[in-house]
Amino acid sequence: MALSNLSLTIGNGEFVALLGPSGCGKSTALNCLAGLLPLTGGSIFLDDRRIDTLPPERRDFGMVFQNYALFPHLTVRQNIGFGLKIKKVAKSEIERRVTAAINLVQLSLHADKHPSQLSGGQQQRVAIARAIVIEPQVVLMDEPLSNLDAKLRHEMRSEIKRLHRELGLTTVYVTHDQEEALSLADRLVVLHDGKVQQIGTPEDVYMNPVNSFVADFMGYRNLISMDLLAGGSAGNYSLRAPGLELTASNLFSGSAAGKVRVAIRPEDLFIENTSGNSISCTVKSVEYQGKDFAVEVSTAQGITLHLRTPKKLEVGQSTNLTVASDRVLVYPDSDA
């Protein structure tokens, strides 16, 4: 997977997530950073030291692998102590730091087991402890939670968050799960086809995706082709589609009068009579999802929209939706 133009400065103690669909180049980026893949161009600096010419063992990074990559012939304790043993740390010091790490990831009951005797979540804890016990300058995590089931994934997410808070380790985290990235990271890097799409805080990326790809990836399910009328001004741009008229407060760069793509999050469409754009439509399907309903509606001209609402609607029922004009995001039609 080719990767181009990734320029990023990571602050001390920062948690950065590389986010994107599979095949977007995020794992390539991480492996280049770790030194496991050669860099064909560009450079990597750690503080003022250039490190991209160094082999992985001299970069002083800790890495957590997707399938954990625990050493099957070593016990939990030996796995965690491996890096310290290699660095020729004194035996008593290894003992102390490994024990501390084992306690930190709450595995003291399993310290002398082999990896094959542990559950997926426990193996993941070992992998994390092994990476952080060497007190690396940077911890790299390659989709560390993707092999766990949903419940465990949530637990480990909090665990990683806690460890990061307690130890303050600079972390680069690769994931394809936007929810995971949003909840963990201080800063997100959204990648697509080997290109950086957007870099920003989770709030920024979530609320203001810079293009329709990021919008789609961040859960803006309603992507509608519309016409932007000429002559609008900030706070008041008019959009038209057959049977649908919307006003948007802002345009994203590159949008010009003519064909545009409009993105609206399901969560930003309301049934209540709030101010803003109004859309009349018919309910097509209703899915119960526990805390709320996922509803699919259709306008008279056949434009399908998705929304979430706590109110129970009936299929076939007519309803009126509203959306605030600052939550109608307008992108140029060209980018996908």
Partner 1 sequence: MSSVDTSARTFNLKSWLAEHGVDRLLFLLVPAFLAMLAFFIYPTIYGTYLSFHPMEAKSGALGNYRSFFGDTYMRNSIWNTFRIALPVSLINVFAAVPLAVRLRHRVRGKRTINTLLVIPMSLGTVLIAEGLSAYLAPNGWFNRTLLAAGIIDQPLQLLHNFWGVIISLLITGFPFAFLLTLSYISGINPKMEEAASTLGATSWQRFRYITFPLLTPGLAITFCLNFVLAFSVFPSANLLGNPAGDSHVLAVAAAQAIVNNYDYSMASAISVITGAFELAVVALVLVMRSRLYSGSTSGGKG
Partner 2 sequence: MSSRKVFVKSPLGWLIWGSVAFFFINLLGVIGTVVVSSFGTEWFDGWLPSGWTTKFYTTAWHDYQVPNLLRVTLQVALAVVVISILVGTPAAYVLARRDFPGKKILMLSFLLPIMLPPITYGIPLATFIYRLNLGGTLTGVIVANTVPAIPFVILVLSPFIEQIDPKIEAAARMCGATTRQIFIKILTPLIVPGLLAAALLVLVQTVALFELTYLVSGPGSNTLVVALYYAVFASGIRPYQAISAMAVFYMLTTLFILIVALRYVNPTQMVSQARSADSK
Plot region of 316 (φ>0 → left; ψ -120 to 50 → alpha; else → beta) = left
CB 161 → partner 1: shortest distance, Å? Answer: 22
Residue 116 lies near partner 1 (rule: CB under 8 A): yes
Residue 120 lies near partner 1 (rule: CB under 8 A): yes
Residue 197 lies near partner 1 (rule: CB under 8 A): no
Q: CA 288 to CA 335: how far, in whole Å?
A: 34
DSSP H or E stretch at residue 245: strand 244-248
Q: Which residues of 46-57 are buried (b: 16+ CB within 10 A; e: fewer)?
A: beeeebbeeeee
Tell me which residue has tokens 């402890």.
129
Residue 302 CB burial class (10 angstroms; 0-12, 13-18, ≥19): exposed
Q: Show contacts with partner 1 in window 9-48 (CB under 8 A).
A: 34-36
Residue 137 lies near partner 1 (rule: CB under 8 A): no
Total residues binding partner 2 (CB under 8 A): 3
Closest by CA to 136, choosing from 69, 57, 78, is 57
Strand partners, 241: 244
Residue 175 CB burial class (10 angstroms; 0-12, 13-18, ≥19): buried
Choose from partner 1, partner 2, none: what does 131 bind? Cβ within 5-8 Å by kind: partner 1
Residue 63 lies near partner 1 (rule: CB under 8 A): yes
Q: Which stretch binds partner 1 (CB under 8 A): 9-17, 127-135, 185-193, 222-230?
A: 127-135
How many CA atoms lie less than 13 Å away from 212 in the CB half-sphere? 20
Closest by CA to 211, choosing from 275, 254, 155, is 254
Considering beta carbons, is residue 125 or 221 the nearer one to partner 1?
125
Residue 1 lies near partner 2 (rule: CB under 8 A): no
Tell me which residue has tokens 């997530």.
17
Q: CA 329 to CA 59: how far, in whole Å?
A: 42
Residue 37 lies near partner 2 (rule: CB under 8 A): yes
Applying CB under 8 A, among 7, 9, 38, 116 the residue interacting with partner 2 is: 38
Applying CB under 8 A, among 58, 91, 96, 161 the residue interacting with partner 1 is: 58
Q: CA 245 to CA 251: how far, in whole Å?
A: 16
Q: Which two tokens stand for residue 315?
A: 């299929």
Considering beta carbons, is residue 38 or 231 the nearer one to partner 2?
38
Considering beta carbons, is residue 38 or 290 the nearer one to partner 2?
38
Choose from partner 1, partner 2, none: what does 82 bind? Cβ within 5-8 Å by kind: partner 1
Residue 55 lies near partner 1 (rule: CB under 8 A): yes
Choose from partner 2, partner 1, none: what does 15 bind? Cβ within 5-8 Å by kind: none
Residue 5 lies near partner 1 (rule: CB under 8 A): no
For the beta sheet containing 222-228, the strands, ordered from the edge strand earlier in sequence to the opposite edge, are 244-248, 237-241, 222-228, 258-264, 329-332
- Strands 15-19, 170-175: pairing is parallel
Residue 39 lies near partner 2 (rule: CB under 8 A): no
Q: Which stretch binds partner 1 (CB under 8 A): 63-71, 226-234, 267-275, 320-328?
A: 63-71
Indicate the residue type of 291: K
Q: CA 315 to CA 313: how far, in whole Å?
A: 7
Considering beta carbons, is residue 35 or 144 the nearer one to partner 2?
35
Q: Show contacts with partner 2 in window 219-278 (CB under 8 A).
A: none
Choose from partner 2, partner 1, none: what does 68 bind? Cβ within 5-8 Å by kind: partner 1
Q: Which stretch binds partner 1 (CB under 8 A): 100-108, 114-122, 211-219, 258-266?
A: 114-122
- Kindly list the residues in this chain that would bind partner 2 in the complex (CB under 8 A): 36-38
- Kindly list the residues in this chain that would bind partner 1 in the complex (CB under 8 A): 34-36, 55-63, 65, 67-73, 82-83, 86-87, 114-116, 120, 123, 130-131, 134, 140, 147
